[in-house]
Structure 1
Amino acid sequence: MSGPLAFATVTAVLKDLLNDGLVNSDLSAILGTVKVSALPPDRIATGADEPSQLNVFLYQVTANPGWRNADLPSRSSGGDQRLSNPPLAVDLHYLLTAYGAQDLDAEVLLGYAMQLMHETPVLTRQAIRRTFSANSPVSDRLMPASVIDRNPADLADQIEQCKLTPRYLTTDELSKLWAAMQARYRPTMAYTVSVVLLQRTTPTRAALPVREAKLHVVPVARPVIEQVDPAFGPVGTAVRLRGQSLRGGITKVRVGSQQVAPAAQAVSGDSVQLTIPASLRAGLAAVQVVHEVQLGEPPTARPGVGVESNVAAFVVTPIVTSPSPHTLAADRTLSIAVSPPIARDQRVVVLPGDSALLVLARPDDDPPTSGTITVTIPPGWPPGTHLLRVQVDGAMSPLVVDSDAGSPTFNQYVGPTVTIP
């Protein structure tokens, strides 16, 4: 959009256009010195010795029909704050008048000027900038330096270019114009420049002052988990995640529904060490590295703000914690203590030896989790001592358990057993 100096800018560009055209046509060899002005006609000296001169005069400003439906500027209810900046769209109407002391001088000037205007249907952005450039030979004569310093050439950057079209006035219209100007009539042609868009460039509402600048940069490199070592084990297992770009500003690991904050020394760019939290359920757990970004005052982690890695898998295996060997009750009921506790909605299978027994779902009024599994051994089950395992949501208890320490060893094939009479 243009600023309030746009009217003067258009007039200056028209003067520059006429001046260049006269110089290029070498009219000075025919008419002598020719002057280009932008004065009201009543201020131009006329008579027997009037100089050869072309005058461009802005005599009327009208609303542009294509932009006239744009909204008017609006203000707040108190009137102290501007709410919108719609443009003021107008067309500029000029009179081009030729003066000369000798016969035919005015006709020659008007003919050259009209041909030049006809061949310039648009005031191009390049022409506007050239008029007010530092190396323009006429810019200092077109407009005072104090005005040029305020950048009137912003007209070159408005959305629509200014179109230059002739307007053929009737004798009656010309008579009224010259009578209103109280000047002596000279050969005249009218032109219209459309459209000039005046609009403020300042914001409609002043921004609140910045009390303290806080810039948070979210890392671009996304962490990648390539390996989980080991990939299975009971709760409390020490696990190392290997991959790329694992260290962030605030590095945490999401394991299932739990979030673990590893120690600073346990995190590097290619590995993260953590301990599987005891609150997890047995079964498959998703593992993700999360780089958090804290915002606000005081700084607080916000959901969805940060970078997450790909999802890896860790299998939390159940551990039979009741003493071995296990014995059956008189009604052939086998009770087994397991860790971690089993949720009511988990699928549990007890495997005495090579056979499997599905544990029935517990009633809804039972506690949500239980550390004890109860299953009935049906009659006809092969007697003897059998290796005892538990499967929870597909996660199998390990074959080898050190009964004294209560932790997996994986170095010998021993484990909990059950004796069936």
Structure 2
Amino acid sequence: MSNALAIAAVTQVLKDLLNDGLINNDVTGSLGTTVTVTTTAPDRVDTSVAGEQSQLNLFMYQVSVNSGWRNHNLPSHNAAGERINNPPLALDLHYLLTAYGATDLHPEILLGYGMQLLHDHPILSREAIRKSLQPVSGDNSFSNLPLSLRSLASSKLDEQVELLKITPEQLSAEELSKFWTAFQNKYRPTAAYKVTVVLIESEKSTKVGLPVKERGLYVMPFNQPVIKVIKSQVTAGAPVSDSQPILPGYRLVLEGTQLAAQVVKLHIDGKEIAATPQWLSAGTLAFTLPADISAGVHGVQVSHPVNMGNPPVLHAGAISTAEAFVLHPQLTNIQVNNAQGSGTQPRSADITLKINPGVGTTQKVLLLLNEVDSGAPGVTLHAYSFSWAQASPPAPGPFTDIVIPIHNVAAGAYLVRIQIDGVQSVLGTDGNGKYNTPQLVLA
């Protein structure tokens, strides 16, 4: 790659190309006057009647980023901000070739020769670049070069990976007018050219990783598991139902497609569980719910991790979307303590509940009481709800035994439910389908 001297080096090579071409074609002899090639700004060229001379002037008026190379070797830094690469600065150089002359037709003749020389050399060869920038043959020093050229010999322009190409550009009369207005000089015959591409590369130290010792490429088909239906079983071998409430200790039965794989893992709420799936059929698997799953709404997923590396280590693979299920709490014991009130007075008491699974520290708990229907006509049935207040500061959960105070409750028998995060415990029924358990009695 080239360095920062490459822009000036390109201009010098083009100047040398034009100068050699004019000499080889004996343009000076044809015109009968000295012809020079310059690379100065147009506003610095003398166009006065007494001072104008026959000359070709090559002026670089614009530098643009090359669109084909602009993203090469990016990114240049890693996430830690360390330099990992030196991407080249890819530039296109835009030139104006202008002909001057104090005598009629000299500008036209010089512009014709200049355009023909650039047309005959659409690509600047490495040899041509070296010839223009390096010392003459047999002299390894730079003493024979002008001071302005000695530094350009180290531009490394001839070493860049892509050769320089010269192409004409079409400028409208309006664009040329704007240029010469900006130059604040008298207009002369002008042609526009583009030289592409100059690749300038920094020599800053980069952090290079160690070579790959062993390839670890793995190809996996797009085989994402899909859960379509969630059902449940009380125990293994029991009937599978999609309508019965799911209680602690039950087995979840997942039906779907592409559930099977070499390695299958189960996740609840995004966390892998230790349960081992049992395959009931090609698209159906079952597993027992872990004991530490709290009551409430949960999401279950099936994943297919893949063994990679040596020794093999499981890595994340395809995973299904989460499908929701509801785990209902169970009331395993109810006790009424510290009952107060008699006769027609409302009752107060402390209700001690044993709950499975235990209540989490952040879960909201409600005790729901519904008076049992005695069947007597014209009787208004009472219903109450009481919330559970944790101690302050709260102790670590889960809590399997909680106490909820109740007050101003009419005497009688009540069906009892516990509601945790909006999910209620299940009531039992008698042979007639009437709710009858669990109950408490406030005498």
Could you tell me the TM-score, scaled by structure 2's length?
Answer: 0.48
Could you tell me the TM-score, scaled by structure 1's length?
Answer: 0.50
